[in-house]
């Protein structure tokens, strides 16, 4: 008979100890920081990433006990375990480059695809009670579905019951059409079952770009304008809300000479009264994301607003580095909802749920 155990705020001393792999600038981390159910909070113990600016951003805003800026392939998990002790929850947004629907989709056969194996090694070493994994929606279809099934099976074999779901974050009040696979894992000796939080409570939330970009404080960090060439400004004058460089009626001298695929986000304006299209880490060749009315690209603070970072969240690094950090992050507001669903699960609280979409 399988041993079972139940956890609550008292047995956890009011704190859920969190560690992160591939932590990025802190989209998942900020969501965890903002989550708080019945006095049960989440404490950041340690986090890892390989990018220096990203690590500095995470450290500046989330103040973990340790930030380990190192290539995960060189990390000694046993040493980290010995130094920082037990953790209750492990999160990891393992690199999505090889699973993205943009690009070659090499899946498990690409350079980044196999990095999930280090998440498996971490689960085997730390044996946290819970984990939360994040990746792009394309993970489900990479290698004809083989990659997704193999990764899910690996997590199960580590001793976890898993609860995957494709989250459409705009349905949770996020002002952005960002779709991500989130996998919640609960160690299989724990008598708890995670349920997907419902989108119903967020039906009336105004998640429009217009509202997201309102009233940014004059001295908000990372809010510098991007220099626009005269030609870009002139081109934007012809592009209406929701149009891009290929769908707008541009005069010949402003048209782009692009052969093959015409990427829909090139010089694409946002729509004021709808959620944004997906913010990415790129920025060259007309992919900065363009204001719905003004003839310019968004500032990094505006991009961060669309990602739902708070205005006091300061990104460290050059403008280009910050743009990449913001684009690669997970929306904190969406992660807060998922973390609070997990906290409610741990505490045995009822919350509105729905069927999984995978």
Three-state SS string over 123-185 comes to HHHHCCCEEEEEEEHHHHCHHHHHHHHHHHHHHHHCCEEEEEEEEEHHHHCCCECCEEEEEEE
Answer whether residue 162 shows pLDDT above 80: yes
In this prediction, residues 280-284 reach a mean pLDDT of 80
Q: Are 21 and 122 in contact (CB under 8 A)?
A: yes
Q: Which of 240, 326, 238, 244 is nearest to 285 (CA)?
A: 244
Answer whether residue 102 shows pLDDT above 70: no
Look at residue 312 and tell me if it is in a domain: no
Look at residue 57 and tell me if it is in a domain: yes
Answer whether residue 149 shows pLDDT above 90: no
Q: How many domains does the chain have?
A: 1
The CATH number of whichever domain residue 94 belongs to comes to 3.40.50.150
| pLDDT cut 70: percent of the chain above it | 88
Answer whether residue 98 shows pLDDT above 90: no
Look at residue 227 and tell me if it is in a domain: no
Active site residues: 96
Answer whether residue 244 shows pLDDT above 80: yes
Look at residue 176 and tell me if it is in a domain: yes
Look at residue 337 and tell me if it is in a domain: yes
Which domain range does residue 26 map to? 15-203+330-354
pLDDT category of residue 114 using cuts at 50, 70 and 90: confident
Look at residue 19 and tell me if it is in a domain: yes
Look at residue 219 and tell me if it is in a domain: no
Look at residue 136 and tell me if it is in a domain: yes
pLDDT category of residue 95 using cuts at 50, 70 and 90: low
* More confident call, 24 vs 140: 24
């Amino acid at each position: 008979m399988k041993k079972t155990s139940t956890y609550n705020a008292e047995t956890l001393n009011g704190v859920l100890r969190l560690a992160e792999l591939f932590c990025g600038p802190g989209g998942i981390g900020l969501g965890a920081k903002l989550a708080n159910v019945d006095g049960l909070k989440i404490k950041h113990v340690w986090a890892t990433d390989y990018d220096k600016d990203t690590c500095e951003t995470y450290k500046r805003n989330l103040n973990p006990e340790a930030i380990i800026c190192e290539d995960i392939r060189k990390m000694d998990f046993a040493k980290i375990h010995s130094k920082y002790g037990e953790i209750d929850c492990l999160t990891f947004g393992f690199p999505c480059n090889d699973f993205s629907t943009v690009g070659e989709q090499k899946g498990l056969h690409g350079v980044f695809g196999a990095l999930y194996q280090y998440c498996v090694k971490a689960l085997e070493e730390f044996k946290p009670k819970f984990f939360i994994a994040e990746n792009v929606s394309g993970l489900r279809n990479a290698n004809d579905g083989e990659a997704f099934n193999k990764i899910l099976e690996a997590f199960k074999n580590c001793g976890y019951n898993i609860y995957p779901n494709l989250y459409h974050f705009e349905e949770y009040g996020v002002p952005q059409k960002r779709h991500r696979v989130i996998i919640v894992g609960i160690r299989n000796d724990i008598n708890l079952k995670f349920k997907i939080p419902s989108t119903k409570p967020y039906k009336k939330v105004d998640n429009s770009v217009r509202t997201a970009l309102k009233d940014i404080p004059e001295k908000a960090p990372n809010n510098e304008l991007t220099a626009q060439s005269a030609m870009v400004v002139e081109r934007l004058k012809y592009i209406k809300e929701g149009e891009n460089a290929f769908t707008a009626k541009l005069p010949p001298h402003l048209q782009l000479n692009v052969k093959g695929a015409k990427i829909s986000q090139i010089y694409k304006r946002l729509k004021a009264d709808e959620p944004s299209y997906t913010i990415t880490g790129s920025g060259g060749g007309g992919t900065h994301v363009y204001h719905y009315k003004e003839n310019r690209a968004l500032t990094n603070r505006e991009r961060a607003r669309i990602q739902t970072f708070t205005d006091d969240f300061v990104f460290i690094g050059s403008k280009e580095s910050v743009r990449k950090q913001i684009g690669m992050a997970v929306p904190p507001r969406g992660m807060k909802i998922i973390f609070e669903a997990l906290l409610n699960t741990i505490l045995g609280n009822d919350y509105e749920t729905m069927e999984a979409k995978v």
